[in-house]
Amino acid sequence: MKAGTWHRWFNKGTIALIPVSMSAIALLSDTAVIAQVTPDRTLGSEQSTVNRNVTINGRNGDRIEGGARRGANLFHSFEQFNVGNGQRLYFANPEGVFNIIGRVTGRGASNISGTLGVQGNANLFLMNPNGIVFGNNATLDLRGSFVGTTANRLQFGTQGFFGTNDPQTPPLLTINPSALLFNQARPGKIQTQSVADAGESLAGNPLLGLRVADGQNLLLIGGEVAIAGGLNALGGQLGLFAVKAPATVELSADSRPSLQQPVRQLSRSSRGNVLINGGALLNVRADHGGEIQINAEDIQIRENSILRAGIDQDLGNRDSQAGDIILNATGNIEISGSNVLNSLIGMGTSGDLVIRGRSLVLNEGAILSAATLSQGNAGRVVIQVAGSAVLTESATVFNTINPDAIGSTGGIFLEAGSLTMTDGAELVANTNSTGDVGNIIVRVRGDARLSGVNSQGDPSGILNVVRPGGIGNAGEIRLSAGSLSLTNGARLQTNTRGQGNAGNVIVRVRDRFLLDSEAAGIQDLTGIFTAVGTDGVGKGGAIDIQSGSLVVLNGAQLTANTFAQGDAGDITIQVREQAIFDGSNNNYQTADDRNEVVRSGVFSAVGERFTDGTIPAFGNGGDIRLSANQIKLRNGAALGTAVLSGSRGDAGSITITATDRVSVDGRSRNRDASSIRTQVNPGAVGNANGIQITTDRLTVSNEGLLQASIGGDGKAGNIRINSRILELFNGGRLLTTTAGSRPAGDIDLRVDDRITLSGQTSGLFASTERNATGRGGSINITTHQLAVSDRAAITVSSPAGRAGNLTIAANQIRLNQGRLTAEAGVGSGAEITLQGLDSLLLQNNSLISAQASDNATGGNVTVDAPNGFVVAVPEQNNDIIASADQGRGGNISITAQGIFSIGQQRSSPQNQTNDIDASSRFNQSGTVTINQPDIDPSQGLIELPTDVVDRSTQIARGCTPGSDESSRFVATGRGGLPISPDQPLRDRAIVSLGWVALDSERSDRQSIPLQATESQSQDERSLEQVDSSKSAVMEASEFSRDANGKVVLVAQAQTEEVVGEHVGDRVCLERSP
């Protein structure tokens, strides 16, 4: 290897690949080393000596003796320190010595290619600032701990230092080493590639590489650390620390040197890099204990390398506690195609897996796992990065209870500045056996992006599940982010397919939450899914979302289902701004093995549908609650709850609240309507809970649909709308139906301002299917204005049963080619009640009908407008009908101030008259009752004088008889009813519906002109002063509507020309020809 290659890589500040091969390292460590141990003379008379070719542990080797003893510490100092290939080099361990400390004061690195050991139980410290290299065949033979470091000073508390840069006889350093100091310009590197035989683990598994005695610690602390072989500290601490000068690394001051926990944080500039590659194996798994701790600026684990901790097979007991795996970087951490495992295979409790850094990359199938495979609990997986966390190429983080295990898991916690998960990357917590699974908690300060599936079809996502055969509860998924996107098959999922409850999914997004399934197939739907899965017994998880905005596109879904035994969870969505659900999947196809559809939306189902039938379930569906400023469903998107055939349970309710508006618009490419539905299918048993919408404006258009239906055995759901404006256009419908023997649900509308229904098939419908025997639902409407036009309709019907009633409380109703109908086929007909009216206007073949077919009695129609008017435009075939076929006709009752252009007669489609018809085709007709308010005959009359007047003085003499002149007497009324139907009024005079209030306090006569459409002549009529408490009634012959939509009555003058309007004394007029 060229000099400086490692240095150049580690100082890039990145985690790029090393541009050299491990064979180059092997060449350096095995063939270019001169096996030499050369003591220096810095210790004077206590200098170290090498006793060669002695028998050590039954084999030939070399022993280092002498040194400077200070209490329990023995110090050695060397000019060079190397161990050749096949050489066995041991330190003598005098009695009472617990720490053997060797320093190298020369300039060369130490190359260890043979065996380095201690003839005793002491810990061994090897300090060479120039570097330490362990070759392929390097081994350690120690019963104590080993510290290999490229520091240049070793601190002993407050007693002093033992260093390489100021070589001298050590002072009185009798306590355990407390810290490593790096003060040189460039600390050397530590490299190991050892794959030598290291015996067997306590579980009988072969070990390779460097090994310390079980329960002891192995620490490598240098400027940079590279591991390409094996390191084993079973039950002890395996610590790697890369340090740049100046820096201090603190050690524990007990009998086993270890890295302090937690490690004192060093600045980014004070750390070097750690590389683990070439299939390296770092192993601390034993019967208890065992910790791996790596501290660096950048950490890179590559090429099928493994970090392994936990409790090994057949080892441990209930009180056994395994240690943690801790990766602590001030820079980047990359784990590529490698595994970091903290597993409980024996008995006890495994430790945590903790990763902290500036950024994290997991790729090429990398695995992080804290799991239990036996009896005991698994620890947590904790990931904390200040910047980006990127998981890709099937990288997976596991926290699991494996088959045959008994225990629980600690969960997964991930915190990052941003998160990207692609190509099948997953966070997975599950139980395959007995025990509860911990929560998965993800906190992202910025953007979180989950996208795509891998080549095997596994989605990118976060999953917390009880798998088949599992007994226990799944944990929750809690995800918070600045913005969040799930695309192209990515998902969040909790379910139970064993015995236990699925966890909740809780999502908090500050800004935009996007779900888009555009590039995913039907098997890879994008979304959030909770379920009681097939064969599961338990409760499904809830979905709880809060976000700034929500966009669900191209078949993405949010579902909470039950496919087996148990209730589905609720779905609650709260959006600060817009919630948009749009379209269906581009790759639409029939689902072969699941009941999910490819329409965008929110769904909760009881039961699972396959192409060859439905698998029944037993439990209640979840409720859907959605609130936002604006909510839009378009191009086939839907919100729905259902109980499928063969299943038992109630469908969930749907509650929608929007501050501004709700719109349901259009159809998908395969003609599925955008819809909000709750239903119980035929063959199911359960109640269909209703739909409730509260908003300022609700628009259902272009065949959009709101539907509550019952096809099985149960109670239907109702549709309730509370809004200011309701609009149904171009086939938009609100519909309640029954397909069986149970009643359909009702439609209740409370709309403050206006309801507008327009377009063929648009309308409100509470009905029964053709062969159903259940009662149809009722429709109840309260509003100010109702307009039904262009063949739109409001209908209650039951072709084979009893229909519900239609009740409308409105100030104004206008039908322009519109229909209000109640149709019954059995029993008493349905009733139509219109009440509180100021005006009812019928135009262009409009119809109000309570008809009955077969033997049913005609329904009743009640129009209540005691202070208003009923007006039908003449000769436009506008009818009010309560007829029957073979049953008795119904009853029609109309109460109004005035009724215009419509009268009682049999209705016929061929005539163009406006008819009121309560007839029966083959039976007795019903009754028609017209009620108009009584009029006080004394109203507006003027009290006559008591004095008798001489009549002769009141009659003017006429013109001469026989002459061409003639006289005419004209009497013009001044309010009240006209004296004669022939009494003339001014042409096109318009009298407002309100009465003119006259000042009764004045005794003199007042001249008050009538409001007219044309200027009156100077000879205006005056009104005699009357009692203002009385009101005159004037007959009208036409009506008109002003700019505000208010109906006014028009009094039109006779067409016969009036030659003179005032007759004075002896004024004769010419006759009109």
CA 71: distance to chain centroid? 67
Among the residue ranges 304-313, 508-517, 718-727, 846-855, the one predicted with the least confidence is 846-855
| Domain span including residue 1035 | 961-1073
Q: Quick one: tokens of 47?
A: 């200098």
What is the three-class DSSP state of 29? helix
Could you give the CA distance from residue 888 to residue 922 in angstroms, rounded to a whole number?
A: 8
For residue 1032, what pLDDT band results from cuts at 50, 70 and 90? very low
Write down which residue in 287, 311, 335 finishes a domain: 311
Q: Tell me, what's the pLDDT at 697?
A: 98
Q: Tell me, what's the pLDDT at 780?
A: 98
Taking 80 as the threshold, does the pLDDT of residue 188 lie above it? yes
Q: Which amino acid is at 320?
A: S
- CA-nearest of 533, 531, 442 to 481 is 442
Q: Tell me, what's the pLDDT at 1030?
A: 43
Phi and psi at 702, nearest 5°, equal 50, 50
Q: What is the pLDDT of residues 692-724, one digit of tens each?
A: 999 999 999 999 999 999 887 888 899 999 999
Cα radius of gyration rounded to whole Å, the chain? 47
Give yes or no for a contact between 726 and 756, defined as CB atoms under 8 angstroms apart: yes
Q: Tell me, what's the pLDDT at 443?
A: 99
Q: What is the pLDDT of residues 932-957, one digit of tens each?
A: 876 454 444 455 555 555 555 555 55
Taking 80 as the threshold, does the pLDDT of residue 1045 lie above it? no
Q: Tell me, what's the pLDDT at 824?
A: 77
Taking 70 as the threshold, does the pLDDT of residue 731 lie above it? yes
- 488 assigned to some structural domain: no
What is the three-class DSSP state of 533? coil
The 3-state DSSP composition of the chain as helix, strand, coil percent (nearest 5) reads 5, 45, 50
* Whether 925 and 973 share a structural domain: no
Phi and psi at 29, nearest 5°, equal -80, -25
Could you give the CA distance from residue 797 to residue 777 in angstroms, rounded to a whole number?
A: 8
Whose tokens are 């041991």? That residue is: 90
| More confident position, 999 or 88 | 88
Which residues, other chains included, contact 591 with Cβ-Cβ below 8 Å and sequence gap of 6+? Answer: 522, 597, 598, 609, 610, 611
Q: Quick one: CA torsion of 678, 680, 682, 684, rounded to 10 degrees?
A: 160
Q: Tell me, what's the pLDDT at 22?
A: 39
- 1065 assigned to some structural domain: yes
Taking 90 as the threshold, does the pLDDT of residue 979 lie above it? no
In this prediction, what percent of the chain has a pLDDT beyond 70? 80
Write down which residue in 258, 289, 311 finishes a domain: 311
Q: Tell me, what's the pLDDT at 33?
A: 41
* Whether 915 and 1036 share a structural domain: no
Could you give the CA distance from residue 732 to residue 700 in angstroms, rounded to a whole number?
A: 5
* Whether 93 and 221 share a structural domain: yes
| More confident position, 380 or 970 | 380
- 889 assigned to some structural domain: yes
Taking 60 as the threshold, does the pLDDT of residue 32 lie above it? no
Looking at residues 272-278, what average pLDDT do you find?
97
Could you give the CA distance from residue 409 to residue 401 in angstroms, rounded to a whole number?
A: 7
Give yes or no for a contact between 698 and 727, defined as CB atoms under 8 angstroms apart: yes
Q: What is the pLDDT of residues 67-118, one digit of tens each?
A: 999 999 999 999 999 999 999 999 999 999 999 999 999 999 999 999 999 9
Looking at residues 176-195, what average pLDDT do you find?
92
Neighbouring CB atoms inside 10 A of 104's CB total 28
Could you give the CA distance from residue 79 to residue 103 in angstroms, rounded to a whole number?
A: 9
Give yes or no for a contact between 440 and 504, defined as CB atoms under 8 angstroms apart: no
* Whether 808 and 926 share a structural domain: yes
CA atoms within 13 A on the CB side of 874: 5
CA triple 142-144-145, angle to 5 deg? 100
Which residues, other chains included, contact 913 with Cβ-Cβ below 8 Å and sequence gap of 6+? Answer: 875, 877, 903, 905
Among the residue ranges 56-60, 221-225, 277-281, 942-946, the one predicted with the least confidence is 942-946
Taking 60 as the threshold, does the pLDDT of residue 1014 lie above it? no
Looking at residues 839-855, what average pLDDT do you find?
89
**What is the number of structural domains in the chain?**
3
Could you give the CA distance from residue 282 to residue 890 in angstroms, rounded to a whole number?
A: 91
* Whether 872 and 974 share a structural domain: no
In this prediction, what percent of the chain has a pLDDT beyond 90? 65
Q: Which amino acid is at 86?
A: G
* Whether 150 and 288 share a structural domain: yes
| More confident position, 559 or 270 | 559
Q: Is the peptide bond before 171 cis (omega within 30 degrees of 0)?
A: no
Looking at residues 744-772, what average pLDDT do you find?
92
Q: Tell me, what's the pLDDT at 270?
A: 78
Give the chain's largest Cα–Cα span.
Answer: 174
For residue 199, what pLDDT band results from cuts at 50, 70 and 90? very high
- 1035 assigned to some structural domain: yes
* Whether 83 and 199 share a structural domain: yes
Among the residue ranges 192-206, 575-589, 653-667, 837-851, the one predicted with the least confidence is 575-589
CA atoms within 13 A on the CB side of 562: 33
| More confident position, 852 or 51 | 51
Q: What is the mean pLDDT of the chain?
A: 84
Could you give the CA distance from residue 746 to residue 768 in angstroms, rounded to a whole number?
A: 12
Give yes or no for a contact between 92 and 224, defined as CB atoms under 8 angstroms apart: no
Taking the alpha carbons at both ends of the chain, their separation in whole angstroms is 133
* Whether 776 and 918 share a structural domain: yes
HEC per residue, 607-630: CEEECCEEECCECCCCCEEEEEEE
- CA-nearest of 300, 281, 173 to 230 is 281
- CA-nearest of 167, 128, 168 to 151 is 128
- CA-nearest of 891, 756, 752 to 833 is 891
Q: Is the peptide bond before 866 cis (omega within 30 degrees of 0)?
A: no
* Whether 910 and 971 share a structural domain: no
For residue 985, what pLDDT band results from cuts at 50, 70 and 90? very low
Could you give the CA distance from residue 717 to residue 773 in angstroms, rounded to a whole number?
A: 17
- CA-nearest of 593, 587, 588, 526 to 553 is 526
Q: Tell me, what's the pLDDT at 713?
A: 85
Taking 90 as the threshold, does the pLDDT of residue 521 lie above it? no
CA 513: distance to chain centroid? 8
Taking 90 as the threshold, does the pLDDT of residue 637 lie above it? yes
Q: What is the pLDDT of residues 417-470, one digit of tens each?
A: 999 999 999 999 999 999 999 999 999 999 999 999 999 999 999 999 999 999
Taking 90 as the threshold, does the pLDDT of residue 365 lie above it? yes
Looking at residues 813-826, what average pLDDT do you find?
90
- CATH number of the domain that 106 lies in? 2.160.20.10
Write down which residue in 296, 311, 326 finishes a domain: 311
- 355 assigned to some structural domain: no
CA 623: distance to chain centroid? 14
Could you give the CA distance from residue 74 to residue 99 in angstroms, rounded to a whole number?
A: 6
Give yes or no for a contact between 74 and 68, defined as CB atoms under 8 angstroms apart: yes
Q: Tell me, what's the pLDDT at 516?
A: 95
DSSP state of 28: H
Q: Tell me, what's the pLDDT at 858?
A: 78
Q: Tell me, what's the pLDDT at 830?
A: 80
* Whether 919 and 966 share a structural domain: no
| More confident position, 366 or 523 | 366
- 134 assigned to some structural domain: yes
Q: Tell me, what's the pLDDT at 1041?
A: 62
* Whether 1012 and 921 share a structural domain: no
Strands (E), 136-288: 139-141, 146-149, 153-156, 160-163, 179-182, 189-192, 197-200, 206-208, 210-211, 218-222, 224-227, 230-232, 237-242, 247-250, 274-276, 281-283
Q: Which amino acid is at 61?
A: G
Give yes or no for a contact between 833 and 820, defined as CB atoms under 8 angstroms apart: no
Could you give the CA distance from residue 315 to residue 605 in angstroms, rounded to a whole number?
A: 47
For residue 238, what pLDDT band results from cuts at 50, 70 and 90? very high
Strands (E), 475-623: 477-481, 483-487, 491-496, 505-516, 527-532, 543-553, 557-562, 571-575, 578-582, 601-606, 608-610, 613-615
Q: Tell me, what's the pLDDT at 1039?
A: 60
- 692 assigned to some structural domain: no
- 361 assigned to some structural domain: no
For residue 499, what pLDDT band results from cuts at 50, 70 and 90? very high
Q: What is the pLDDT of residues 138-183, one digit of tens each?
A: 999 999 999 999 999 998 888 888 888 777 667 767 778 888 989 8
* Whether 182 and 102 share a structural domain: yes
Among the residue ranges 606-615, 725-734, 844-853, the one predicted with the least confidence is 606-615
